[in-house]
Amino acid sequence: MEIRDATDLAPRLRALLERLPAEQLPITYQQAAEALGLSPPRTIQRVALALEALMREDVAAGRPLIAVLVVSRRGDLPRQGFFEQAVELGRFPTGSAEHVEAYRREREKALKGRG
């Protein structure tokens, strides 16, 4: 069910991130869940799974990672799982000391490449 859920949510999440004005980005995982009309349980986990699906799609298509536009409410960065997935997909360097800068570069590309 979780894979199907993520696959169903991913296109809706991409559409949301593409249509939001740049000045409203990034959004939090909670804001994404609310905008998608998700209700508990596991709303944040479902958003995270959809973001992982979008990351795989974007890497396969050679696009910037639109998932960079969703961040944790505890800061200006995505959750740790984002960075792990970005490394696994070969998009970010393995050294965690370089992740914040890689994230900032990817966010600029994603903002320019939307829509």
Dig out the tokens for 60 from the structure.
């396969």
pLDDT digits (tens, 9 = 90+) for 4-53: 566 689 999 999 999 999 999 999 999 999 999 998 899 999 999 999 99
pTM listed for this prediction? 0.92
Query: 27: helix, coil or strand?
Result: strand
The total of structural domains in the chain comes to 1
- Do residues 79 and 26 touch, judged by C-beta distance below 8 A? no
- What's the rounded Cα separation, in Å, for the pair 23 and 92? 25
* C-beta neighbour count of 75 within 10 angstroms: 8
Q: Which of 91, 82, 27 is nearest to 63 (CA)?
A: 91
Q: Which domain holds residue 40?
A: 2-113
pLDDT digits (tens, 9 = 90+) for 50-105: 999 999 999 999 999 999 999 998 878 999 999 999 999 999 999 999 999 999 99
* C-beta neighbour count of 92 within 10 angstroms: 22
Question: Using alpha carbons only, what angle is made at residue 74 by residues 69 and 102, rounded to the nearest 5 degrees?
Answer: 45
